[in-house]
């Protein structure tokens, strides 16, 4: 019983400490807001080839049992001896960037800044590999993303898009800007089409005697509406807009994928792996990891990413939440243990 009370007392002491940390975080946050906060980003660069070699060496040593204890205790020590494969490495560099798209393609702005960085440092002969995953979304944002990837080709860089899961609709609009498209065996490719879906509750409101007034200036300012009564003229105008966007989509893909039967693949259907290759939508069936592993044998492979830097208040908040979670877990474990002891 005394041990259980001691745990409870310890929990409350930790809770007070957490409250103090949270109060300090609020003070820091209030001061930061006074000067105006600008989101900061941190450039993260990782040598994928070096990481692969280090992991491979650890596996070999673990299998043979010849790894030195000093290497296990101090893994951050760098080997001063030159490696045999360092002298024959190619001068060309393979740069790797990632894009994971959502409905709004919210990562396009970060992608644009990463592309600008690459254009400033990449040399002739370098390759840019874009690991792209996106089911599509808003037309204007994905068109911007496609324009950003096109900048790499205009800059004279070799571009390769790797799709392990899905590049559909707006995702494929971005992918087709690359000189080569590599897809996994079951990657979803295609969906070259446009869709608009708008619910309408006009009849429901009418049954409950609810009137909705919609005032516009301009004949086609509003084609279809959620609350008001839709007209055939509005439906026809929206359909014409979708057809125009679809035509631009088809032309964009047709200009960048030579040999593809654009009318046959622009039906909104999707294809997988080999099917996408046979229809000209992709060039090869392989995974991004397999392709990058081969690139590591040829030369240096660097991963580049701009990541948001959490503020001091956010870091303190994460720390406080972790302390609370640990304290609650300890109390719960102790209560469960004491329950078993009394049985």
Question: What would the two tokens of residue 44 be?
Answer: 């993260």
33 is catalytic: no
Cα-based distances in Å from 91 to 127, 153, 255: 11, 20, 32
221 is catalytic: yes
Question: What would the two tokens of residue 220 be?
Answer: 């086609």
Instruction: Name the catalytic one among 134, 158, 169, 191.
Output: 169
- Classify residue 9 by burial, with Cβ atoms within 10 Å: 0-12, 13-18, 19+: exposed
CA distance 185 to 337: 50
Which residues are tagged catalytic?
169, 221
């Amino acid at each position: 019983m005394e041990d259980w009370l001691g745990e409870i007392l310890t929990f409350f002491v930790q809770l007070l400490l957490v409250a103090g940390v949270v109060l300090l975080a609020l003070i820091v946050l209030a001061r930061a807001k006074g000067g105006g906060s600008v989101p900061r980003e941190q450039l993260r660069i990782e040598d994928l080839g070096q990481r692969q070699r280090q992991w491979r060496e650890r596996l070999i040593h673990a299998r043979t049992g010849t790894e030195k204890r000093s290497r296990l205790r101090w893994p951050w020590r760098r080997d001063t001896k030159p490696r045999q494969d360092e002298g024959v490495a190619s001068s060309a560099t393979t740069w790797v960037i990632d894009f994971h798209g959502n409905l709004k393609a919210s990562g396009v702005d970060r992608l644009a800044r990463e592309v600008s960085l690459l254009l400033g440092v990449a040399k002739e002969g370098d390759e840019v590999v874009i690991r792209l995953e996106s089911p599509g979304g808003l037309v204007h944002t994905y068109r911007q993303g496609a324009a950003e990837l096109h900048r790499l080709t205009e800059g004279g860089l070799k571009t390769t898009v790797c799709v392990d899961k899905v590049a559909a609709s707006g995702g494929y609009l971005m992918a087709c800007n690359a000189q080569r498209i590599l897809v996994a065996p079951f990657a979803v490719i295609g969906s070259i089409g446009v869709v608009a879906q708008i619910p309408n509750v006009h009849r429901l409101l009418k049954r409950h005697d609810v009137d909705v007034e919609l005032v516009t200036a301009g004949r086609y300012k509003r084609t279809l509406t959620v609350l008001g009564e839709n007209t055939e003229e509005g439906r026809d105008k929206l359909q014409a807009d979708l057809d125009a966007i679809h035509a631009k989509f088809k032309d964009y893909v047709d200009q960048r994928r030579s040999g593809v039967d654009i009318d046959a693949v622009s039906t909104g259907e999707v294809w997988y792996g080999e099917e996408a290759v046979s229809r000209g939508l992709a060039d090869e069936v392989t995974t991004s990891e397999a392709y990058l592993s081969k690139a590591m044998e040829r030369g240096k492979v660097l991963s580049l990413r701009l990541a948001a830097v959490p503020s001091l208040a956010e870091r303190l908040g994460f720390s406080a939440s972790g302390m609370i979670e640990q304290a609650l877990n300890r109390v719960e474990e102790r209560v469960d243990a004491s329950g078993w002891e009394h049985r």
